[in-house]
Amino acid sequence: MTEKNAEYWRNRFWKLEELQHKKVVKYDKQLERAYTRTLDAIEKDLLKWYNRFAENNSITLQEARKRLNAGELREFKFTVDEYIKYAKENAINGQWIKQLENASARVHISRLESLFIQFSNHANILYDGQLQGLSELLEDSYLEQYNRVAYIVQTGTNVAFPLAAINEGAIQTIIAKPWASDGINFSERIYRDRTQLVSILQTELIQAIQLGEGVDVTARRLKDRLGVSYRNAVRLVQTEETAILSRANGYALKELSVDRYQYVATLDSRTSDICQTFDLQIFDINQYEAGVTAPPLHVNCRSTTAPYFEDVDYGERAARDRDGRTVYLPGNTSYAEWKEKYGV
């Protein structure tokens, strides 16, 4: 069918993965800026709250739980109304808008509750932006990967034919499908992370008040928690991008009538045990399933797949030795064989 060897296909698909993951790096920078804006907003509200209600940079939990007076309540409701306006104009989730409207209608709100609502608003804006941004990234990545895989295979086999169009609804269904065994998709993970962050920020604030910590120490507490949330978000983006690229690979290979594919792990000391086991295994194309017989098999999976054709020269395969130098091995060298010679 083709004169191209296994090395050719692996290299082309690795380069394709690298090209697509540059988008992730760019998106991660956008995400970092969004978290920085959220932290700035939280710190601003925290400082204003301490300046208004704390004495000598300290406040008791009893004082924090006192109700807002009439003037403070009017000012707070004005702030909430501004939140509602922004949420409606920017399509923030309807559930949060309803909670804000309920808060605006209340006649009694404590000082502590008012700050909780402000923190929650910042978190909702952050995570709604993340959901929209990641959805757009995955949709764009799927379409581009599908087309690039088709191009690589058709030019590599010298066989060209038109492919079926993919409508937007089908892509939305694909990106919404969970890849992990827990059955949770990326939007549900974002919602869960948002809920956890709001709860953690509230807990950290109460603990800081109970310990008599000032605004600077409290702000550092919240910054640390937001840092953890950001790192979790980066892992989510990287893993979901791997999953959508893998699904695009599988769908394109099926459309191109490729019968089999090969699992290709990264050859270095950070490769997971499960990817070591799957390395160079060959599967029927009908077995292709992200999270089961194709990447990602775990969070931050760095493996990929490549089409497999019979009767090809295996060529060479790039790997890293114990000192991190690039070495070239026979193309059919498995992870186990590499580890015995070069691993740690």
Percent of the chain with pLDDT over 70: 89
Indicate the pLDDT class of residue 3, thresholds 50, 70 and 90: low
33 domain-assigned:
yes
222 is a domain residue: yes
Q: pTM to 2 decimals? A: 0.86
At 1 the pLDDT is: 45
Share of the chain above pLDDT 90, in %: 71
**192 falls in which pLDDT band (50, 70, 90)?**
very high
pLDDT at 344 over 50: no
Residue 102 lies in a domain: no
Residue 318: predicted pLDDT: 52
* Residue 273 pLDDT greater than 60, yes or no: yes
pLDDT at residue number 269:
83
- The pLDDT of residue 152 is 87
* Domain-embedded: residue 279: no
The answer as to whether 61 is a domain residue is yes
User: Average pLDDT of 36-49?
Assistant: 97
- Note whether residue 217 is domain-resident: yes
**Whole-number average pLDDT of the chain:** 89
Between 40 and 158, the more confident residue is: 40
Residue 316 lies in a domain: no
Q: Measured between alpha carbons, how far is 117 from 94 in angstroms, rounded to an integer? A: 16
pLDDT at 74: 95
Assess if residue 71 is contained within a domain. Answer: no
| Domain that residue 119 falls in | 9-66+110-258
- Is the confidence at residue 316, as pLDDT, over 60? no
Q: Give the tens place of pLDDT for each residue, 62-95.
A: 999 999 999 999 999 999 999 999 999 988 888 9
Q: What is the mean pLDDT of residues 273-301?
A: 95
| The pLDDT of residue 39 is above 70 | yes
Which of the four pLDDT bands, split at 50, 70 and 90, describes residue 313? low
Question: In this predicted model, which residue has the larger pLDDT, 10 or 63?
Answer: 63
What is the predicted pLDDT for the residue at 7?
81
Taking residues 185-206, report their average pLDDT: 95
Overall number of domains in the chain: 1
